[in-house]
Amino acid sequence: MIRSTHLPLMVTLATFVLAFALCGWQYPSMLSTRVVANLLTDNAFLGIVAVGMTFVILSGGIDLSVGSVIAFTGVFLAVILRDTSIHPLAAFVLVLLITTMFGAAMGAVIHFLEMPPFIVTLAGMFLARGAAYVLSTDSVPITHEFYDTLQDIYWKAPGGGRFRLIGGIMLLVFICGALVAHRTRFGQNVYAVGGGGPTARLMGVPLARTTVGIYAISGGLAGLAGIIFSLYTSAGYSLATVGVELDAIAAVVIGGTLLSGGYGFVAGTFFGILIMGLIQTYIVFDGTLSSWWTKIVIGALLFSFILLQKGLTWATITRKRTATGSAQQS
Amino acid sequence: MPATTPSLFKRITPQLLILAVVIGLNFLVFPDFFDVSFRNGRLFGNLVDVFNRGAPVALLCIGMTLVIATKGIDLSVGAVMAIAGATAASLVTDGYGWGTALLGALATGALCGFWNGFLVAVLRIQPIVATLVLMVAGRGIAQLITEGTILTFNNEGLIRLGAGTFMGIPTPIVIWLALGTLATIGVRRTALGMLIESIGVNEASSRLAGINSRVLLICVYLASGLCAALAGVIVAADIKGADANNAGLWLELDAILAVVIGGNSLLGGRFSIVASLIGALIIQSVNSVILLSGMPPEFNLVIKALLILAILVIQSPRVAHLIYMLRASGPERLPERQRPSVQEPKEDAL
Amino acid sequence: MTTPQAPLLHASGISKFFPGAVALDEVELKLYPGEVHALLGENGAGKSTLIKCLTGAYRRDGGTITLDGEDIDAKSTAESQELGIGTVYQEVNLLPNLTVAENLFMGRQPTRLGLVNRRQMNTQAREALLGYGLDLDPGEPLNSFSVAVQQVVAIARAVALSGKVLILDEPTASLDRDEVDLLFGVIRQLKDSGLSIVFITHFLDQVFEISDRATVLRNGRVVGERLLADVTQHDVVTLMLGRQLEATVQDRKAGKPGALLLEINDLAKRGMIEPFSMNLHRGEVVGLAGLLGSGRTETANLLFGAVQADHGKMLIDGREARIANPRDAVAQGFAMCPEDRKTHGIVGDLSVRDNIILALQARQGWMRPIPRAKVHEIAEHYVKALDIRLASLDMPIRLLSGGNQQKALLARWLATEPDVLILDEPTRGIDVGAHAEIIALIERLRENGMALLVASSELEELVAYSTRVVVLRDRHQVRELTGDEITADNIVHAIAAEPEKGAA
């Protein structure tokens, strides 16, 4: 059953299928499991952070701090594994706690001080990036056998593609994210807040708990993405992942989630990530195109989806107007 | 509002106080801070550096103040800086004169601003979303112009805009002071300022009063684009090259911060360009304190973040209301002076 | 519904004060079990304040409320909901982006193993709505349904949560006839099941169709409680609008209207106002009468270009005028003080001085600022002429009282020296003194040759200053009264008259 709210998701899906088909038509070797596996591996951290961003944007907010939080997590892990002898798993738990608390604190400031999320998370972005600098300004390599163990986990598909652990974790996060968003009371509350705070409050939605929870999830997932990123690069660097928040926002919007909140699907974000990854892969395959085209194409896609959403909203309003317009004969 | 001298002074008093404190800190950690020397026809000194290094943010915050006054925001200025710098650099490397390069850069900036304004005023897209498009795509466009390299040049005229002097004063300082003055006069000696404020406070009422809000909104984003272009040219001239990746990186955030420190509400309405400019100087002075105190520059961002938080908490309507309630209940216990950036709670007299 | 036992809900002596205004003055409301009780009154009469006091959205300043014989004092809408008082508002207070079922079950979703059981939720929602005669897919988002269906969903939610008293605040304002029937079917069904319903609306036909009893409010006081079986529409309109001032002014129509200024030919906008025609001369005041929702405000907005007409034309001094937006209107010599002062009139944070000069400055364009001395002169002049009371011209206008804000808005437009001044509810929500001054001002402007169009729900006022009155009903122009015909009685008759079916 196709519903009007599903339309942006359908467009995303169609865009992805079409783009993939075009790529495959031009470069048949792109249709290999290797490319697909790399698509998942290379975008694992971005995908995870985009799930958190989906929650934030669904609630009508924005989180600019995630890129910095990823960098902080990487540096924190690298430094703590270099300077102490604690097990990486313990370090993971610790860093996840820190980043979740950090997100929750931002959510609390946003809710209780009634400040715009944009500016609060901007401060959070400076703070996390600054904390990363304070820990270390150099790139710190991570050399721990546990990392090697984790990095060696993969499933080799026919055709030579290696589906690595981090890609799998991303898929798991997407599945959990979708479950939370669509099948829990908390998820319902997130949509409710995005649909309208005052009305949601009247309907008994606990605004404080929901808002704090949303930013805690985003912070926690940024922490997880940081762990994944450190597994991906085997290093922590405070200048890494600059601008990832923009990529995440773009993926969410291209995935069909309305930037003003209330409408969208976690699954859409997944395809948003894949589309963005595909653009990069295509440019690599082409070889003559320069990397900056990625940004331009993503910007253009972003613009088209914003326009599409604007058009849909506008169409809904017009339809309503016509409906009430016919009410005059009474 | 007619910007009569006493009221303007009163408006910017807190910003001046903060600036004085930060400058004082500079002096404490580095007693030679105020030493200014004149060598090779140019002013030297740490104070001069603060004014010089603060030029890009100062320029950006002029346009940003106007945009924020209309209840908008322009996230794209950093990217526009990169585009404009790239345009100027590629024009001079193609053999055009510095004048043409400057005009070309300004035209690109204006075009970017117009695009933003069109999305906001005509297509009615939220400003934060509308300007995000160019923020994402802008650096790609800049790289398209520089073809992925850092485009270096040695055109004397263009370099003078960033590294030269005018009557002994570094050119960037002259430029931002001149543009700031021009903009202030431009909005206060015409009715522009009042009309912009009116749109920011209540666009529906303003339109019903016959204000052409659409055109004004476009103009405001256009102005922001122009300011960004000028800042972009200065930054490029300073390093004698256009770096599409790093020119103006995160400066949109500094510019917004300067406007907020200047006591301008993010919710639009009354604004003061002078206060924003002082805000830009405060940011640069903070950078300078960190540098001169020998504290590792790593702390720069952390301190900046804490500064934003502190200012935001003071500006928060909720806190303002709390202060208001406290004052109402216990007038003797609290200091008389309330920070003017605090908005009064909007309790209409029905 | 004739034998009142003890009332289910009894509010007595309810008072509510706002700074500088009495919103409710010892209001009494008795709601009997199983009745539909209409709450009537023009805007500002205190209906919504009363509702807010009943539901705990406002704390009352005096009086008692008993429900089932027990004193209640709800501190929030959530608390009153638990006590059994549910409310449904005109703007449906549900979330348009969620599905029907999600809206119905928000906060009490059926779960299994901690996960929301969507299938069960949808089944239950479908069954619940079938009980209201709605057969629909509850998995569709709420905003894909008509407002009427949304209203029914809101009612279903309120009844499920509360279940003793249901307050319907203008639920029919934007519904067509079939939708109203659907809603009324639901209301009757609920009434039969023993629920007591408070019904607020501006449509008198609907009041008589569905309600048993009515309480009429006027200026924060109860002016009457009637069993509707015993009274006519005419009686109710008289109660609502009042007519105490009837005999006051009579011979002010001595002034003869001047030259023809404005001709309006069949101006219309779908869904807002049916074709509307009239002429306006210099030196005359045309009153626009009608109940709320009759098209008064819509007509004013159309003339001023705030809304663009899709039919008809306007001639100014015999030449066709194209007015696409307020800017065009101002350029053609129009001026308008809108109904909603706060959101469409004042620019709250700007100073009184800026607010007064705004329209004139906007017309001159930003390039030609009005010199400061001139601004001061104009502002001072109008502050004196209109007796605007303020501490300083530099204070933000939002700090002024309603009456003074209105005068400042009048000053804004008078400064542009308009030919046509449109006033929409010029005296709403302002104190008695300012009220009289504004009426006197209207007279004065007319004598000076301005053409005025005044929309108002205050009949005595209209009678007092109008040289002609156009009566609107259900978005149609139904009558034009001139000369001695202009009496409150005649206006009430025109408003209350049943529309002839053929003509409508």
What are C503's two structure tokens?
């003509």
Q: Look at the alpha carbons of B223, B227, B228, B232 in this order and tell me if their dihedral is positive or negative.
A: positive
pLDDT score of C255 more than 70: no
Q: What is the mean pLDDT of chain C?
A: 85
The lowest-confidence range among A305-319, B142-156, C129-143, C186-200 is A305-319
Among C219, C251, C193, smallest CA distance to C465 is for C251
What does the alpha-carbon distance between residue A279 and residue A291 come to, in Å, rounded to a whole number? 10
> What is the total residue count of chain B?
350
What does the alpha-carbon distance between residue B32 and residue B55 come to, in Å, rounded to a whole number? 22
C74 & C196 share domain: yes
> Per CATH, which fold does A4-319 belong to?
ABC transporter involved in vitamin B12 uptake, BtuC (1.10.3470)
The per-residue pLDDT for A322 is 45
What does the alpha-carbon distance between residue A90 and residue B196 come to, in Å, rounded to a whole number? 55
C384 & C436 share domain: no
Contacts of A246 in chain B (CB under 8 A): 132, 135-136
Q: CB within 8 A of A199, min separation 6: which ones?
A: A192, C93, C94, C95
pLDDT score of C248 more than 60: no
- Confidence label for B244 from pLDDT (cuts 50, 70 and 90): confident
The per-residue pLDDT for B341 is 35
C188 & C147 share domain: yes
In a domain, C210, yes or no: yes
8 Å CB contact between C499 and C491: no
pLDDT score of C2 more than 60: no
Q: CB within 8 A of C143, min separation 6: which ones?
A: A316, C96, C97, C150
| A142-169 pLDDT tens trace | 888 888 888 888 888 787 788 889 999 9
What are C146's two structure tokens?
């008509």
Among A233, A236, A252, smallest CA distance to A244 is for A252
Contacts of A3 in chain C (CB under 8 A): 140-141, 144
- For the full predicted model, state whether its pTM sits above 0.95: no
Nearest CB neighbour to A195, from listed C97, C115, C144: C97
Q: What type of residue sits at position C86?
A: G
8 Å CB contact between A140 and A75: yes
C264 & C276 share domain: yes
| B46-78 pLDDT tens trace | 889 999 999 999 999 999 999 999 999 999 999
What does the alpha-carbon distance between residue C23 and residue C52 come to, in Å, rounded to a whole number? 12
What does the alpha-carbon distance between residue C117 and residue C115 come to, in Å, rounded to a whole number? 6
What are C159's two structure tokens?
């009844």
The per-residue pLDDT for C20 is 64
SS3 of residue A182 by DSSP: helix
Report CA dihedral (C77, C78, C82, C87) to the nearest 10 degrees. Answer: 40
Locate the chain C residue with the closest alpha carbon to B208.
Answer: C326
Lay out the sheet containing C260-269: strands in order across. C273-281, C260-269, C311-316, C319-321
| C189-209 pLDDT tens trace | 889 888 899 998 877 778 888
- Confidence label for B3 from pLDDT (cuts 50, 70 and 90): very low
Exposure of C35 in the CB half-sphere (CA atoms within 13 A): 25
Cross-chain residue pair A114–B318, CB shorter than 8 Å: yes
| Percent share of chain B, pLDDT over 90 | 46
C184 & C78 share domain: yes
Locate the chain B residue with the closest alpha carbon to C323.
Answer: B210
8 Å CB contact between B11 and B263: yes
Q: What is the mean pLDDT of chain A?
A: 88
In a domain, B109, yes or no: yes
Biggest CA pair distance of chain C: 82
The lowest-confidence range among A33-47, A121-135, C139-153 is C139-153
| C350-370 pLDDT tens trace | 999 999 999 999 998 888 888
Cross-chain residue pair B350–C20, CB shorter than 8 Å: yes
Cross-chain residue pair C111–A324, CB shorter than 8 Å: no
What does the alpha-carbon distance between residue A222 and residue A220 come to, in Å, rounded to a whole number? 5
For the ranges A99-103, A108-112, C292-296, the one whose mean pLDDT is highest: A99-103
For the ranges A102-106, B283-287, C494-498, the one whose mean pLDDT is highest: A102-106
Neighbors of chain C with 3 or more C-beta pairs under 8 Å? A, B
Comparing B175 with B253, the larger pLDDT belongs to: B175
- Confidence label for C503 from pLDDT (cuts 50, 70 and 90): very low
Sort strands C221-227 and B241-242 into parallel, antiparallel or unpaired.
unpaired
In a domain, B299, yes or no: no
What are A207's two structure tokens?
């605004």
Of C358, C388, C416, the position where a domain reaches its end is C416
The DSSP secondary structure of C415-428, one letter per residue, reads TT--SEEEEESTTT
Token pair 């910017």 is at which residue? B12
The per-residue pLDDT for C425 is 87
8 Å CB contact between A252 and A49: no
Our count of domains for chain B comes to 1
Q: Look at the alpha carbons of A129, A135, A138, A140 in this order and tell me if their dihedral is positive or negative.
A: negative
Sort strands B151-152 and B241-242 into parallel, antiparallel or unpaired.
antiparallel
Our count of domains for chain C comes to 3
Of C416, C440, C471, the position where a domain reaches its end is C416
Token pair 């924020």 is at which residue? B68
Calculate the alpha carbon distances from B115 to B75, B181, B212, B220 in Å.
13, 26, 18, 12
CA angle (B227, B232, B237) in 5-degree steps: 130
- Confidence label for C245 from pLDDT (cuts 50, 70 and 90): very low
Sort strands C334-337 and C420-424 into parallel, antiparallel or unpaired.
parallel
Report CA dihedral (B101, B106, B108, B110) to the nearest 10 degrees. Answer: -170
Biggest CA pair distance of chain A: 80
In a domain, B175, yes or no: yes
Q: Is C250 left (phi over 0), alpha (psi -120 to 50) or beta?
A: alpha
Report CA dihedral (B91, B95, B101, B105) to the nearest 10 degrees. Answer: 0
Token pair 């409906």 is at which residue? A323
C281 & C399 share domain: no
pLDDT score of B338 more than 60: no
Cross-chain residue pair C118–A5, CB shorter than 8 Å: no
What are C165's two structure tokens?
């008293």
What are B239's two structure tokens?
């390093």
CB-based contact, A317 to chain C, within 8 Å: no
8 Å CB contact between B242 and B89: yes
In a domain, C237, yes or no: yes
Query: Residue A291 CB: number of other CB atoms within 10 A?
Result: 12
pLDDT score of B187 more than 50: yes
pLDDT score of A95 more than 70: yes
- Confidence label for A53 from pLDDT (cuts 50, 70 and 90): very high
- Confidence label for A1 from pLDDT (cuts 50, 70 and 90): very low
8 Å CB contact between C377 and C360: no
pLDDT score of C30 more than 70: yes
Q: What backbone torsions phi and psi does residue B332 show, to the nearest 5 degrees?
A: -75, -30
What does the alpha-carbon distance between residue B143 and residue B26 come to, in Å, rounded to a whole number? 38
The per-residue pLDDT for A226 is 96
The per-residue pLDDT for C41 is 81
C197 & C167 share domain: yes
Of C395, C416, C437, the position where a domain reaches its end is C416
CA angle (B254, B259, B262) in 5-degree steps: 120
Mean pLDDT within A273-290? 87
Exposure of C252 in the CB half-sphere (CA atoms within 13 A): 23
Among A50, A27, A6, smallest CA distance to A276 is for A50
In a domain, B301, yes or no: no
C366 & C422 share domain: no
- Confidence label for A67 from pLDDT (cuts 50, 70 and 90): very high
- Confidence label for B344 from pLDDT (cuts 50, 70 and 90): very low
Nearest chain C CA: its distance from B100 CA (Å) = 29
The per-residue pLDDT for C180 is 82
The per-residue pLDDT for A329 is 29
Q: CB within 8 A of C178, min separation 6: which ones?
A: none
Neighbors of chain A with 3 or more C-beta pairs under 8 Å? B, C
The per-residue pLDDT for C174 is 65
In a domain, B171, yes or no: yes
Q: What backbone torsions phi and psi does residue B151 show, to the nearest 5 degrees?
A: -80, 105
CB-based contact, A199 to chain C, within 8 Å: yes
The per-residue pLDDT for A157 is 79
| Percent share of chain A, pLDDT over 70 | 94
Nearest CB neighbour to A330, from listed C115, C146, C176: C176
The per-residue pLDDT for A2 is 52
Cross-chain residue pair A330–C474, CB shorter than 8 Å: yes
What does the alpha-carbon distance between residue C75 and residue C59 come to, in Å, rounded to a whole number? 7
Comparing A189 with C108, the larger pLDDT belongs to: A189
CB-based contact, A168 to chain C, within 8 Å: no
The per-residue pLDDT for B57 is 96
Count the helices and strands in chain C (H runs, E runs): 16, 22
CB-based contact, A295 to chain B, within 8 Å: yes
Cross-chain residue pair B201–C372, CB shorter than 8 Å: no
8 Å CB contact between C478 and C294: no
The per-residue pLDDT for C367 is 83
The per-residue pLDDT for A252 is 94
The per-residue pLDDT for A321 is 47
Among C439, C391, C383, C448, smallest CA distance to C415 is for C383
8 Å CB contact between A222 and A129: no
Mean pLDDT within B232-253? 89
CATH of the domain at C163: 3.40.50.300
The lowest-confidence range among A124-133, B41-50, B303-312 is B303-312
pLDDT score of A326 more than 60: no
8 Å CB contact between C453 and C280: yes
For the ranges B100-114, B154-168, C413-427, the one whose mean pLDDT is highest: B100-114
- Confidence label for B339 from pLDDT (cuts 50, 70 and 90): very low
| Percent share of chain C, pLDDT over 90 | 23
In a domain, B165, yes or no: yes
For residue C360, the enclosing domain spans 350-416
8 Å CB contact between A263 and A241: no
What does the alpha-carbon distance between residue B226 and residue B60 come to, in Å, rounded to a whole number? 9
For residue B194, the enclosing domain spans 51-274
Locate the chain C residue with the closest alpha carbon to B1.
Answer: C354
In a domain, C130, yes or no: no
